[in-house]
Amino acid sequence: MEDATIIELYLQRNQQAIEETAAKYGAYCSTVASNLLGCPEDMEEIVNDTWLAAWNDIPPSRPNCLRFYLGRLTRNLAISRFRFARTKKRYAGMVSLLSELEDVLPGGTNPEEALAGKELNRCLQDWVDALEREERQLFVRRYWHGIPVKQLAQEAGISQNAMTLRLSRLRRSLRARLEQEGVEV
Partner 1 sequence: MKSEDIYNAVTELRDDSVRAGERKLRRSKPSFMRRFGALAAVLAVVIIAGVVARPWLSSTLGGQTEQMGIASAEPNGAQLAHMDYEPVATNLEPTEEEPNGTGAANPNVVPTGLADWNAFSLARAAYPKMAPYPLNDPWHENQEAWDAWWEDYCALHPSDADYDRGMDDYLRASVPMLLSGTGEDNCVASPLNIYMALAMLAETTAGESREELLTLLNVPDLETLREQSKALWEANYCDDGRLTELLATSLWLRDGMDYNDETVQRLAEDYYASVYAGPMGDEAYNETLRDWMNEQTGHLLEDQIRDIGMSGDTVAALVSTLYYKASWGGGFSRVEEALPFHGPNGDTNPVFMRCVTEDSELYTGEGFQAAGTKLDGGGKMFFLLPDEGLQPEALLKNANALEFLLSDSGRSSADSRQVELTLTVPEFDVSAKLDLIRILQELGVHAIFEEDRADFSPLTTDNENPITVSEAQHGARIVVDEDGVLGAAYTIIEMSEAACEPEEPERASLTLDRPFLFVVTNNEGLPIFVGIIHDPSA
Residues that bind partner 1 (CB under 8 A): 64-65, 68, 71-72, 75-76, 79, 83, 97-99, 101-102, 104-107, 117, 119-141, 143-145, 152, 155-158, 166, 169-170, 172-177, 179-181, 183-185
**Residue 135 CB, nearest distance to partner 1 (Å)?**
6
Closer residue to partner 1, CB minimum distance, 11 or 68: 68
Q: For partner 1, which is the closer residue by CB, 44 or 119?
A: 119
Question: Among 164, 173, 80, 27, which residue's Cα sits nearest to residue 35?
Answer: 27
Q: How far is CA 90 from CA 75, 81, 95, 133, in A?
A: 17, 11, 9, 34
Q: How far apart are CA 116 and CA 127, in angstroms?
A: 16
Nearer to partner 1, 43 or 183 (CB): 183
Q: Return d(Cα 56, Cα 145) in angstroms, integer.
A: 24
Shortest Cβ distance from residue 13 to partner 1 (Å)?
A: 25
**Spatial distance between the Cα atoms of 66 and 70, rounded to a whole number of angstroms:** 6
Count the Cβ atoms, other than its own, within 10 Å of residue 71: 21
Nearer to partner 1, 15 or 125 (CB): 125
Task: For the chain, give the number of residues.
Answer: 185
- Report the alpha-carbon distance of residue 31 to residue 139 in Å, rounded: 17
- For residue 174, give the H/E element and its range: helix 160-181
| Least Å from the CB of residue 59 to partner 1 | 19
Q: Closest distance between partner 1 and the C-beta of residue 15, in Å?
A: 26
Quick one: 13 or 169, whose CB is closer to partner 1? 169
Question: Residue 159 Cβ, how far from partner 1 at the closest point, in Å?
Answer: 11
